[in-house]
Structure 1
Amino acid sequence: MGRNALVDIKRSLDEHIGSRILLKANGGRRKTVERTGVLEETYPSVFIIKLDEEQHAFKRVSYSYADILTETVELTVYQDNQEQIRITYVKQ
């Protein structure tokens, strides 16, 4: 499950590079942080989201694919036709 799951998550994100993203992350102590931006790049261990500048103090954030696997981070991709796709890992 481990290595293949992370590779599968990376592949699904590779298809959405340049797309608008809604990011929900666990901020600790029962806080959930919501940010919007664009999926900028994927690397072997992490992915980078360029945040909307007017809303956030940081320009970019990075998370690991394990964050999606453990559901610490939830990603929703917005398509051009207003369709929303949630990026998750489903065991096969």
Structure 2
Amino acid sequence: MANNALGAIKRSLDAHIGQHILLRANGGRRKTVERSGVLERTYPSVFIIKLDEEKHAFERVSYSYADVLTKTVELTICGQDGQRFTISYEQ
């Protein structure tokens, strides 16, 4: 079942490569990290986000699909028409 969920998240992200994305991640010890950038690439186990250069000290971050499944990472896709929606997996 987990493999199907991870595959569904990957397919969902595959459809949004090149789009602007907002990311909220659990940084540990009650810290939340918020970043923005462009979904650059997806791989079998991880996806890469190229961060906005003026806002962040480093260029890219990667997260696993399991992070999205366990809600450690929340992804919001920003569409061209200003529309926003969250990538998640619900049973």
TM-score bracket, normalised by the shorter chain, equals over 0.9
Counterpart residue number, 1:55: 55
Number of aligned residues: 91
Aligned to 1:6, the other structure's residue is in SS state: helix
Q: TM-score, normalised by structure 2?
A: 0.99
Matched, 1:79 2:79: yes
Matches of 1:2 and 1:58, distance apart in 2: 31
Once the two structures are superposed, the pairs formed by residues 20-31 of structure 1 within 5 Å of their partners are 20-31=20-31
For structure 1, list consecutive stretches of 5 or more residues without a partner in the other structure.
Answer: none
CA RMSD of aligned residues (A): 0.4
Deviations 1:32-67 (A, max 9, x none): 000000000000000000000111111000000000
Secondary structure class of the residue paired with 2:90:
coil
Aligned counterparts of 1:25 and 1:90: Cα–Cα separation in 2 = 18
After superposing on structure 2, the runs of 4+ consecutive aligned residues of structure 1 that deviate more than 3 Å are none
SS at 1:71 equivalent: coil
Pair 1:44 & 2:41 matched: no
State TM-score, norm by structure 1. 0.98
- Unmatched segments (≥5 aa) in structure 2: none
1:52-91 CA deviation, whole Å, 9 max, x = no partner? 0111111000000000000000000000000001000011
